[in-house]
Amino acid sequence: MEQLWTEVEQYFDQVLVKPDAEFANILSASKEAGLPAINVSAAQGKLLELFVRFLGAHRVLEVGTLGGYSTAWLAKSLPRDGYLITLELEPTYAELAQKNLDRFSFPCKIEIKVGDAVQSLQTLHESSEAPFDLIFLDANKAQYCEYLDWSIKLSRTGTMIIADNVVRKGEVINSKSEDPLIQGVRKFNAMVSADKRLQATALQTVGIKGYDGFCVIYVDA
């Protein structure tokens, strides 16, 4: 089936998504620099861009930058007074992401903060950052509960939180999994479920990136 999923996604990329050449440049520069190909697909990136538009978002927070591919999709429709903060552990990834993003000349302000995301999120909260309109979680799945905890503190009523990779080839339903990433995602889902401030759903996806899915959360702070 994977071949068919890939072909259908390629079809929709051509017909609907139509990413600019600059997006492909991010991926080729990332590949050349030896970064893992664990970025979102173009179709998923476009969905992030559409969420920014639907929300009329001005303030976006991303956890997990890699080479800046999803960052570019999130930034694409942010207005001139928009602000995007993206958090990355690896300084060399952040450096490449900065170069990749500089090529676009987006009108909004983009800041890459290097370090462990949990620490960076705590620092953002302590520095009394205004709440974000959209938060995209896509770093270490074993830390998703901590990301969620800080993300809620950095939210307002109406903030959208999106968490990527919550299906993991269906392993999410394997309660006996010894994989800390699966257990991280399971604990995250349980945490979302138990928190009365959150309304959520999860969608399974197939395509160029295989079988996975994402969780979309509405915060009622």
Ligand X SMILES: C[S@@+](CC[C@H](N)C(=O)[O-])C[C@H]1O[C@@H](n2cnc3c(N)ncnc32)[C@H](O)[C@@H]1O
Residue with tokens 């995209």: 136
Q: How far is the CB of 94 from ligand X (least distance, A)?
A: 9
State which residue, 42 or 217, has the beta carbon closest to ligand X. Answer: 42
Q: How far is the CB of 90 from ligand X (least distance, A)?
A: 4
**Sign of the alpha-carbon torsion through 132, 147, 34, 169:** negative
Q: How far is the CB of 29 from ligand X (least distance, A)?
A: 12
- DSSP label at 31? H
Among 201, 82, 195, 181, residue whose Cα is nearest residue 139? 181
State which residue, 100 or 155, has the beta carbon closest to ligand X. Answer: 100
Q: How far is the CB of 101 from ligand X (least distance, A)?
A: 11
State which residue, 30 or 156, has the beta carbon closest to ligand X. Answer: 30
3-state DSSP call for residue 44?
Answer: helix
What single-letter amino acid sits at 34? G
Q: How far is the CB of 157 from ligand X (least distance, A)?
A: 26
Among 30, 31, 33, 35, residue whose Cα is nearest residue 72? 30
State which residue, 81 or 210, has the beta carbon closest to ligand X. Answer: 210
State which residue, 30 or 159, has the beta carbon closest to ligand X. Answer: 30
Residues at the contact surface with ligand X, assessed by CB under 6 A: 38-40, 64-66, 69-70, 87-90, 93, 116-117, 138-140, 143
Sheet with 83-88, edge to edge strand ranges? 109-114, 83-88, 59-63, 134-137, 160-164, 210-219, 198-207
What single-letter amino acid sits at 172? V
